[in-house]
Structure 1
Amino acid sequence: MKLKLGLCAMLLSGLAYAYDVVIPANQLPANAQSFINTYFKGVTIGLVKKDLDSYDVTLADGTEIDFIITGEWKDVDGKYKAIPTGFLPANVVQKASSTQAGAQIIQVEKEVHGYKFKFNNGMKVYTDANGNILGQKFD
């Protein structure tokens, strides 16, 4: 009986650490704070949630940015509005954008060997780290 109670207690305590915890914005890693201040100048941080391996930041304008635990960006989602792209290599943005004339980038996600772009016309474009187009699909 004691063994079962001990195992249940360990399981429940492990689950408690897996949930997001709301933290103050000043507890973000310095490079994450710098990223926000540089590329989203003038937009305040609305909410910061931390879990075991990442930070989820929601800005006052609705933009969501995911950072890995070291503070490097992983995903920037404008929630259907254009996002700045100055944090990406210019040639990668240019090549991805050239496939979707007139469309704006509303989300970018860092993949293992490249990037996944989502445009406001519903297209997703996958590139390698050099900007070579790997594929695209309508979402």
Structure 2
Amino acid sequence: MTKNQTFSDFTDSLGILKGAFKARIRAAFKENDIPLTTEMLQVMRVLWKKDGVKQQEIADAISKDKVSIVYLLDNMTKRGFLERREDIADRRNKIIILTAEGKKMRSIVEPLLNELMADAVRNVSKDDLAKATGIFQTIIKTLQEG
């Protein structure tokens, strides 16, 4: 097998992994009556790390285009998880802020995610995960450099 074929298998496996993990998250959310989609979870995780960021920063962090992020944020605003505020420095920009309900979701969701992650890697050593992470970071850096 060539290096290119191996890389193709690698990227296929990443897609399968992502889909399988998202399916586990969806099932756990349904079982626990958590009113979030996996896309909403991505937004929440960005805001849990740093609340009060520009809409475009969220779009970049979760790799969504402008139209998709607007629809997603509208939905999350209607559900009471976040609010949009005008950026004082540039009124064209919107600052996204978690509401009390959005902040509360963290204490519900993060323990569940930690359980799911622990289960997903129960047959993988910490060293192997660290090596895999290093490989991912090297490939990402190479792709971003162009």
Counting strand residues as a fraction of each chain, which structure ranks higher?
A: 1
Structure number with greater CO (CA < 8 Å, separation at least 6) is 2
TM-score by length of 2: 0.24
Counting helix residues as a fraction of each chain, which structure ranks higher?
A: 2
TM-score by length of 1: 0.25
